[in-house]
Amino acid sequence: MQRARNLGIFILILALIIGLTYFGVGSKTKAATKKVTTKTLVVTDLAGRKITLKQPVKRVVAIGPGALRLVSYVDGAARIVGVEAIEKQPNAKPYILAYPQLQKLPTIGQGGPDTQPDPEKILTVKPDVIFVVQLLDKAGADRLQQQVKVPVVVLNYGQAGFFDDTALKSINLIGKILGKEKRAQELQNYVQKIKSDLAKRIGKAKSPKVYVGAVSFKGARGFESTQGSHPILKMVKAQNVADGLGKQGAITVDREQILLWDPEVVFIDEGGLSLVKEDYRKNSSFYLSLTAFKKNKVYGLLPYNSYNTNIETAFADAYYVAKVIYPTAFAGVDPVKKADEIYKFFLGKPLYQELKKKFGGFGPLKFD
């Protein structure tokens, strides 16, 4: 009897040990399985390419004109692990002023609108994703992705180089990939708010004839450099004399044409202001033949083109232009305060005073 009882106890203990071992191993197996499970995200980029990315994305590279800027708008600067050499040049781009630490990161290539990515240097910073603007078409992006074995996402600013629907799609795509969808939506809402406010204030107000000179394009340019369908003038419904040429984008015009236009108001892109002042000293008679110069209606604008469009600066400039040409409609607007509001929203910091020190800021220009 005792022997049978002991055998029963032994069998019970053995069963408990086997059960605990089974469930313990099972739990560990499940935990291990859970640990190695990788979340993925499938997106379609602006070149129509379907891309699979591992989540979360922690290490980011942004190459090409404006790519780093767009990532900065979406609060992604802290995830950037390397930048192009062109981003380290002292040209006072607002996103670099807002995030100066970017210039201390490793260099991942030369950069520039007419360059090609450097796969070897990009690989040294071990990115989880590569955002690219303008440098690569669909085939080029596929080729780079195959070389580096890292997802390459093609972005786009849009044809006009301004904050149009294409640029917003790029912002939304970055937000989705970085888990910043809320921030991307906030940007979209803010842009619409600015556009609506400008349109409402302007209403049916009539614009004088306006010319924008020294418009930057791949560097500083002189007075004859302007732009057809100028995004800032277009946004504030200004009468851009250059639109009469029927061309879009950067244009270099003859002085005779400017004299024929005889604009009532002139704005100078301060990126090229030193060139204009130098030329004025040599050819003041030309400038003083223009109504705007004779009546002291020549004003400075912060440069909005620097490795693609500084979108936040373009909006700040738009308010200043509108204040000048529609003084009654914008009587209650302080362009400096508005500029800092815009910079703070896009880049987290009020940057107007820093840009003013560098370029001159808003205000009438003196040449004598």
Domain chopping of the chain, boundaries: 39-189, 203-364
> Distance between CA 301 and CA 325 in Å, rounded?
14
> Distance between CA 313 and CA 127 in Å, rounded?
29
Model pLDDT, residue 91: 77
Domain covering 39-189: architecture = 3-Layer(aba) Sandwich (3.40)
pLDDT over threshold 80, residue 161: no
Question: Phi first, then psi: what are they for 305, rounded to 5°?
Answer: -105, 115
- What DSSP character marks residue 208? P
Global confidence as pTM: 0.88
> Distance between CA 363 and CA 35 in Å, rounded?
60
Averaged pLDDT for residues 295-305: 96
Judged on CB neighbours under 10 Å (0-12, 13-18, 19+), 168 is middle
CB distance 108 to 118 below 8 Å: yes
> Distance between CA 150 and CA 125 in Å, rounded?
12
Q: Of the ranges 30-39, 55-64, 236-245, 306-315, which one carries the lowest mean pLDDT score? A: 30-39
In CATH, which superfamily holds the domain spanning 203-364? Nitrogenase molybdenum iron protein domain (3.40.50.1980)
Domains 39-189 and 203-364 share a fold: yes
Model pLDDT, residue 248: 86
Nearest to 358 by CA among 292, 297, 306: 306
Within 13 A of 312's CA, how many CA atoms are on the CB side? Answer: 28
Q: What CA–CA distances, in Å, run from 44 to 131, 147, 169, 181, 368?
A: 13, 20, 11, 16, 55
Largest alpha-carbon pair distance within the chain? 126
